[in-house]
Amino acid sequence: MSILIILGSARKDSHTRTLLRTVFSETPHELVDLLDFDIATFDYDAHYPDSDQFGEVVDKMLNADTIIFATPVYWYAMSGMMKTFFDRFTDLVSVEKETGRKLAGKRSFLFSVGAANEPPLGFEVPFSDTSSYLGMNYVEGIYFSSRGEDFEGILHTARNFLDKVNQ
């Protein structure tokens, strides 16, 4: 089973990346850091610059069995770059329909980190509903507080999450 993690954090040394590194240290996976890709904002006419790399990330998704969307919580929502990435899924249901259909049956998860003790109300909905719309099987999301006061609790929660990812 291949696992692809798509990270949408605005900095390379983010809390999200640090926790991903800890949680997945012994689990084979590929990490796609959206900071390393030029992904244009959605265009209704599907006119994108030659430098656009959205298709490269989608190809990686097609080659994975499990896709984990990893994002910090920015202003009660997913990061801007993750939102831009999600907006481009519109291309997969309008212009590139055959490609979009190939995502059906893949498992997806959410891995998120924020400063609050709990994620914002409804934070998980765009991930679960988008997965459903694309025919993917959304399993669950996990949220970590960056305050990290309960390290043992974090490890216990992470182990349970990994068990589901590795099923």
The reply to whether the predicted model has a pTM over 0.85 is yes
Q: Cα–Cα distance between 167 and 34 in angstroms, integer?
A: 26
pLDDT of residue 163: 83
pLDDT of residue 80: 97
Q: Residue 114's beta-bridge partner residues?
A: 145
Q: Are 1 and 96 in contact (CB under 8 A)?
A: no
pLDDT of residue 152: 65
Residue matched to tokens 């999200």: 16
Enumerate residue ranges in the chain where pLDDT < 50: none
pLDDT of residue 155: 72
pLDDT of residue 150: 64
pLDDT of residue 149: 62
Top-tier CATH class for 3-165: alpha beta
pLDDT of residue 30: 98
Is residue 36 exposed (0-12), middle (13-18) or buried (19+ Cβ within 10 Å)?
Answer: exposed
pLDDT of residue 148: 62
DSSP string for residues in 90-138 = HHHHHTSHHHHHTTTT-EEEEEEEESSSSPPTTTTHHHHHHHHHTT-EE
